[in-house]
Amino acid sequence: MAKANVKEWLEVVRAPYPRLRRWRRRAFIYAAVVGPGLITATVNQDAGGIYTYSLAGAQFGYLLLWTVLPTAVALYITQEMAARLGAATGKGLSDLIREEFGFRVTFFLLAALLAVNLGNILAEFAGIAASMQLFGVSKYVTVPAAALLIWFVVLRGSHRTVERIFLVGCVFYLSYVVSAVLAEPDWYDAAYYTVRPTVEWNTSYLLLVVGLIGSTIAPWQFFYLQAGVVERNVPKARYWETRADVFAGTVSCAVIVASIIIACAASLHHAGVTNIADAAAAAHALRPLAGEYASLLFAVGLLMASLLAASIVPLSTAYVVCEGLGVEASLNRPFREAPFFYSLYTALIVVGAGLILLPRTPLIRIMVFSQVVNGFLLPVVLVFMLKLINRKDLMGEWRNSAAYNLIAWGTAALMIVLTLTLTYLALRGVPGLPVG
Amino acid sequence: MIHVTELLDASVYDAQGNYIGRVRELCLVPTEQTGRIARLVISRGRYQPLVARYDQVASAAPGVVRLNTGELQLDTYHPDESWLTVRKDLLDQQIIDLHGRKVVRVNDLDLVEQPINSHMELFVAKVDVGLGGALRRLFKGVVPPYVIRTLQKGLPTRSIPWEFVDLIEPDPKRRLKLRLPHDKLAQLHPADLADIIEELAPSEREAVIESLPEATAAEALGEVKDELQARILEELEPERAAGILEQMPPDEAANVFADLPADVATQVLEDMESSEADELTELLQFAADTAGGMMTPEVFASVESTTVAQVAGALRGAEVPVDSLDAIYLINNDNALVGAVPLGRLLLADSGAALGSLQAEQLIFADAQAHEKQVIELFDKYNLRSLPVVDAEQKLLGMITVDDIVSRLWQKQT
């Protein structure tokens, strides 16, 4: 009785009622947990990545399939740490870095991130242009249209809607799997070379090994993933859900990479087409060999991959930079309350798309610059993450165990060496190697 | 005025002008006096750091601090949890701007000098959250201080007076030692508090909720977005969560409660007062999207023969807030709903009039099992502000008020 003190003529009436189960929103929350990990790992397969995998398949057939497993392990280890940092502290990566390492370090880190991500965005718009050119549409139509679409959807859609669009976008990556099946590969060989590492001591083979594993992780992924995990507010007790999400992302990433290599191995390599200029060229070359549909699916996959990455990277960059500098950043606030955030987001898209359209943009030089900055940024971010995740006051029981630390530091060291190698190669201008 | 960044790493000299060391950290002791820089930690390379008290400082300028004593008079430094340190606890950390009602990150602190007798006391005047502070942090030690001062002149300043700053300390043990005041925080509007809470990390959210009185915390929690409400309660001690739930309107409490994991829910229920717990469990019997799930069981009901004067007397004696009172419902001896008296009629009626003679011509009510959509339709069609809810035997169970309808519609839309 809520009103025991109200006099008897003014009383609260309560009657017993048969028990009914209140519908719970839990189910929805569970469903929503499949999210940031899957998106991050999938979007990782952007235009540059797809080109590398195509090249690997075209030049060496199934031989390089063994790189998929170590790549997946590296991806899982590093992303799981980012997710755990987010789940345990409830803070974004740039927030944590600022709080623990100070303003100046954060500032330079964010400046570097901005440069690297701009290179990424540029590559994505190049991917959009190339894939649509396969359908005979000029880049002067597709790039501005894509830029507008991305800008509009992300700014106008609610967070949930946008994330759902992203998740649906991830489904399009399945087109690579279908492409692989349509190419009628030798599945026995594919399985065999996946588990049996083969090393050929020639430059182009080793270059591709470095490229395949070295370009697996990009700094923006950690920031994006951690922010996504924080946004979800999944309680620590249910961290396994987040871990499952990261794992699902890793598996899907591995499947996509393997599919692309297999598709190109079964068709291009089989027919002796070993030299392709970019991912779109791979799709084009597939047509006479694997059929109209395989080629079409490959192109659609490339388009969706580029579109997705082009929507996520600018948004994530704007968020992270604002967060680290302590400037208001939110899609839920009007422009006048977060002017810097909106301006930066818009500028990234405009510059990224604009540079593709300008006739004399030194694209290669920009990409090389972006890769060089990445060569500095990625090691710093990885080391910071490892330091943060081992802080007792921050992580408590969520720290790395000694064994995990061994694997994590080992992975980080390997990734750092590979990234620096890629940077060196980019500076030397080694041909035939994708940058970014 | 002097900035904290200009004092950190400044050279410290004793009364004779001999160099002692560098300022490593500035400390406030909130239990002594708020805002005063009470201790300077001076590092001397490999020797143990020293501590200068506020009354041992003779002057402070960018890069230079002079003491009014000798090195031997200084104590050696031992970390103290009840000291608030500038570098570790304030710079780059999040604070609550009580004036702007949001969470911001500290770039720098502005200090004012106050000469007292033979020493110079420094007080934190403002917290710099703008570009100026960022610039000083960036260029400190690379560019001479006067160049930085010239550079920042043209920049817009964004700072918060110290008295409008609320500090968040996530560690509960340290919170007790620091004893930071939070009375101003509790005076913010619950909706603003909710915005602040939503922006913080879990441990900080907990710190903010802990610092609020239960009733305020309940109001603020009611304004937090739905999917976060249960999450926040889950993080609290069950006892505290139970206290907050008791303070929430029952329908809101039921919504939050339904989202708690089973083990936490049982724990919280055990910690609640039995009457409140009963009320909650009964509300939970209804699905959230039915009239029963939307209603609050707190209604004012009476029989037809009651007079206006009696009602007024009863309302005066009621401990429950009458702010949301919109109508008095009429029931018969079986507790079945038979009519409703709008508040306006009650106001204008003679004090001797019986409620039965004042009732509205048309009685509109909803069955507890009626779907949310039907309820909203009723509100729209009859321009209602409240709607009584009954069971299959017409017994009065509670009522739905228009604010619930508005927030439901709003949530659907966004």
pLDDT tens digits, A71-110: 899 899 999 999 999 999 989 999 999 999 999 999 999 9
Question: Do residues B27 and B41 lie in contact, with contact meaning Cβ atoms separated by under 8 Å?
Answer: yes
Residue of A nearest to B320 (CA): A3
The pLDDT of A162-189, averaged and rounded, is 83
Task: Name every chain B residue with its beta carbon within 8 A of the beta carbon of A13.
Answer: 299, 301, 331, 335, 395-397
Give the HSE-up count for residue B211: Cα atoms under 13 Å, Cβ half-sphere: 29
Q: Are B287 and A23 in contact (CB < 8 Å)?
A: yes
**pLDDT top residue among A24 and B411:** B411
Asked if the C-beta of A397 comes within 8 angstroms of chain B's C-beta atoms, the answer is: no
The answer to whether B287 contacts A89, with C-beta atoms less than 8 Å apart, is: no
The dihedral of CA A411, A416, A421, A425: what is its sign? positive
Q: In the predicted model, is pLDDT for residue B383 greater than 80?
A: yes
Q: What is the pLDDT of residues A383-412, one digit of tens each?
A: 999 999 999 888 988 999 898 999 889 988
- The average pLDDT across B65-82 equals 90
Q: Tell me the mean pLDDT in the region B152-177.
A: 84
How many beta-carbon pairs below 8 A join chains A and B? 142
pLDDT band at A148 (very low <50, low <70, confident <90, very high): very high
Taking only the tens place, the pLDDT of each residue in A336-382 is 878 888 999 999 999 999 998 988 877 777 777 887 788 788 889 99
Q: Which among A3, A26, A328 is the top mutation candidate for probing chain B, defined by the most B β-carbons within 10 Å of its own β-carbon?
A: A3
B-chain residues near A2 (CB < 8 A): 250, 275, 279, 297-298, 320
pLDDT at position A158: 65
CB contact under 8 A, A23 and B300: no
> Which residues, in sequence order, are CB contacts of B20 under 8 Å at separation 6+?
B12, B13, B14, B42, B44, B50, B67, B71, B74
- Spatial separation of the C-alpha atoms in residues B87 and B179, rounded to whole Å: 19
Residues paired with B19 in a beta bridge: B13
Q: Identify the closest residue of chain A to B258 by CA–CA distance.
A: A24
Distance in angstroms (rounded) separating the CA atoms of residues B191 and A351: 39
- Percent of chain A surpassing pLDDT 90: 27
Q: Is B333 on the interface with A (CB under 8 A)?
A: no
pLDDT of residue B182: 84
Beta strands B47-53 and B11-13, pairing class: unpaired
DSSP H helical ranges for B51-165: 131-139, 145-153
pLDDT for B166-205, tens place per residue? 888 888 888 878 888 888 888 899 989 998 998 888 888 8
Given a cut of 80, is residue A157 above it in pLDDT? no
Q: Side-chain half-sphere of A387: how many Cα atoms within 13 Å? A: 11
Q: How far apart are CA B269 and CA B272, in angstroms?
A: 5
Name chain A contacts of B143, Cβ cutoff 8 Å: none
Q: Is the per-residue pLDDT at A32 higher than 70?
A: no
Determine whether the interchain pair A102/B91 forms a contact, defined as Cβ–Cβ distance below 8 Å.
Answer: yes
* Longest CA pairwise span in chain A (Å): 96
Return the pLDDT at A24: 35
Q: Is the pLDDT of residue A161 over 80?
A: no
Query: Stretch A246-255: mean pLDDT, rounded?
Result: 91
Instruction: Verify whether the Cβ–Cβ distance A103 to B92 is below 8 Å.
Output: yes
With CA atoms as reference, report the closest residue to B292 among B396, B378, B377. Answer: B396
- Is B318 within 8 Å of chain A by CB? yes
**Residue A292 half-sphere exposure toward CB, CA atoms < 13 A:** 1
pLDDT score at B50? 92
Q: Is the pLDDT of residue B389 over 60?
A: yes
How far does B232 lie from chain A, in Å, by closest CA? Answer: 9
Option in A2, A158, A237 nearest B279 (CB): A2
| Alpha helix (H) residue ranges in A265-362 | 270-271, 279-290, 292-325, 339-357
Complex prediction ipTM: 0.75
A200 touches B: beta carbon within 8 Å: no
Chain B positions in Cβ-Cβ contact with residue A99 (cut-off 8 Å)? 92-93
Tell me what the pLDDT averaged over chain A comes to.
82
C-alpha closest to that of A39 among A242, A202, A211: A242
For residue B193, the model assigns a pLDDT of 92
- pLDDT for B81 beyond 80: yes
Measured CA to CA in angstroms, residue B307 lies from B253, B348, B355 at distances of 34, 13, 6
- How does residue B320 score in pLDDT terms, banded at 50, 70 and 90? low
B41-to-A389, B17, B52, B178, B398 alpha-carbon distances in Å: 29, 18, 7, 18, 63
Output the average pLDDT for chain B.
86
If you measure CA to CA, which chain B residue comes closest to A9?
B302
**pLDDT at B336 > cutoff 80:** yes
Which residue type is seen at A370?
S
DSSP string, B35-83: TBEEEEEEEETTEEEEEEEGGGEEEEETTEEEESS-GGGSEEP---TTS
